[in-house]
């Protein structure tokens, strides 16, 4: 069966590549011996027609996953035809160095987890056919450590496609300090992985400003909208810098906190000064940037904010929101 399917796919590919005009399903059915043997000529009964349609759609999807670019063309009579133009399926000679091949391999590993494995495999096969040297293995780890970028969020693929196609999206988003999600209308710009988490940068239509969203906080399905973008897309989208700023890693001030002895080691690692207070408490001075309040809340009763007053108020508000559930 595997050999028969491979032969059928090869004949279909050759037929689509060899034609100068789009071929209809009926013409392909009558031209490929495997289809004729399985279902008879194109004027068979409705049962055989349905079975052929299902097999043809599967075969077409398999060829596309292997990297063949198949065009769908509708003629003046409304009949749909198919062809694979040679110029669309031919790549110039490809030369990659070790670093470029490693980047391709890393990208392919990301897609393997994101339901894009077929497209990634097909792309690498086309690179091989275009002249990628056999001694360069994109899947090979270069170096002692093998980088991994996990993609577990269901929102990744629809958002990646929306970024590519420049399509606005709508999704439910739950902020870190919110009890329930809220609807966000976003014009997506770019996706980027930072410290093991995927983030989306884009234009928030409701707020009229650039925003960054963590994919793990998107709930439900990502829905596409047919309207066009209303805001210009920047030439460079600095996702990491924006996330770092929101995470409090870009700081221009200092904060004083009390920290229980033997607790909060991540805070101690960032502290610019530490002073023992006695009674099981220390006083720390730490960099203060946007998002520090959300981080301090994670340490619960082990942290007390001394100053500034606005940071103390933000932490208290977050704790109350958590307590109210």
Domain boundary among 88, 115, 146: 88
Query: Is 141 a member of any domain?
Result: no
300 shares a domain with 271: yes
**How many helices and strands, by DSSP H and E, does the chain display?**
11, 12
What does the pLDDT read at residue 67? 77
Euclidean distance between CA atoms 42 and 140, whole angstroms: 47
Pick the more confident residue, 232 or 103: 232
Q: CB within 8 A of 279, min separation 6: which ones?
A: none
Which segment of 50-54, 144-148, 182-186, 236-240 scores lowest on mean pLDDT?
Answer: 144-148
Q: 23: closest CA among 82, 107, 94?
A: 82
Euclidean distance between CA atoms 224 and 208, whole angstroms: 19
Angstrom distances, CA of residue 258 to CA of 205, 280, 289: 40, 10, 18
99 shares a domain with 77: no
Query: Is 140 a member of any domain?
Result: no
Domain boundary among 71, 88, 105: 88
Q: What is the average pLDDT across 44-54?
A: 75
In this structure, what are the phi and psi dihedrals at residue 18, rounded to the nearest 5 degrees? -90, -15
What does the pLDDT read at residue 126? 60
pLDDT digits (tens, 9 = 90+) for 190-209: 888 776 678 898 999 999 98
42 pLDDT above the threshold of 80? no
Query: Is 149 a member of any domain?
Result: no
Query: Is 229 a member of any domain?
Result: yes
Query: Is 17 a member of any domain?
Result: yes
Could you tell me the CATH number of the domain that includes residue 225?
Answer: 2.30.30
Query: Is 147 a member of any domain?
Result: no
Structural domains counted in the chain: 4
82 shares a domain with 24: yes
pLDDT digits (tens, 9 = 90+) for 68-121: 888 888 877 778 899 988 877 776 666 666 667 666 666 666 655 555 555 555
Q: Is the pTM of this model over 0.85?
A: no
Query: Is 143 a member of any domain?
Result: no
Query: Is 50 a member of any domain?
Result: yes
Q: What is the average pLDDT across 253-281?
A: 90
296 shares a domain with 236: no
What does the pLDDT read at residue 151? 64
Beta pairing class for 218-224 and 197-204: unpaired
What does the pLDDT read at residue 143? 47
Provide the β-strand partners of residue 162.
none
Euclidean distance between CA atoms 14 and 86, whole angstroms: 11
84 shares a domain with 49: yes
263 shares a domain with 217: no
Which residues form the domain of 103? 94-132
Confidence of residue 246 (pLDDT cuts 50, 70, 90): low
323 pLDDT above the threshold of 70? yes
What does the pLDDT read at residue 128? 59
In this structure, what are the phi and psi dihedrals at residue 222, rounded to the nearest 5 degrees? -90, 120
Domain boundary among 29, 60, 88: 88
106 shares a domain with 75: no
């Amino acid at each position: 069966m595997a050999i028969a399917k491979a032969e059928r796919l090869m004949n279909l590919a050759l037929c689509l590549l060899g034609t100068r005009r789009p071929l209809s399903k009926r013409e392909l059915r009558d031209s490929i011996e495997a289809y004729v043997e399985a279902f008879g000529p194109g004027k068979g009964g409705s049962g055989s027609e349905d079975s052929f349609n299902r097999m043809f759609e599967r075969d077409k999807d398999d060829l596309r996953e292997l990297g063949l670019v198949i065009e769908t063309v509708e003629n003046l009579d409304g009949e749909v035809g198919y062809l694979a133009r040679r110029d669309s399926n031919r790549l110039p000679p490809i030369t990659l160095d070790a670093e470029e091949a490693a980047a391709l391999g890393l990208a392919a590993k990301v897609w393997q987890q994101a339901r894009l494995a077929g497209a990634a495999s097909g792309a690498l096969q086309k690179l091989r056919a275009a002249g990628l040297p056999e001694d360069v293995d994109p899947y090979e780890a270069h170096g002692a450590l093998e980088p991994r970028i996990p993609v577990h969020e269901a929102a990744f693929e629809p958002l990646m496609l929306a970024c590519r196609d420049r399509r606005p999206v709508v999704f439910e988003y739950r902020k870190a300090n919110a009890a329930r999600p809220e609807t966000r209308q976003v014009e997506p710009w770019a996706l980027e992985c930072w410290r093991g988490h995927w983030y989306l940068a884009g234009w928030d239509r409701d707020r009229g400003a650039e925003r960054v969203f963590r994919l793990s906080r998107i709930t439900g399905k990502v829905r596409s909208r047919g309207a066009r973008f209303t805001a210009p897309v920047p030439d460079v989208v600095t996702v990491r810098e924006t996330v770092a700023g929101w995470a409090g890693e870009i700081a221009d001030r200092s904060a004083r906190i009390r920290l229980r002895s033997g607790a909060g080691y991540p805070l101690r690692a960032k502290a610019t000064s530490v002073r023992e207070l006695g009674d099981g408490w220390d006083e720390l001075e730490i960099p203060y940037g946007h998002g520090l309040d959300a981080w301090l809340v994670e340490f619960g009763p082990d942290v007390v904010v001394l100053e500034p007053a606005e940071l103390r108020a933000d932490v208290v508000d977050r704790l109350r929101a958590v307590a109210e559930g």
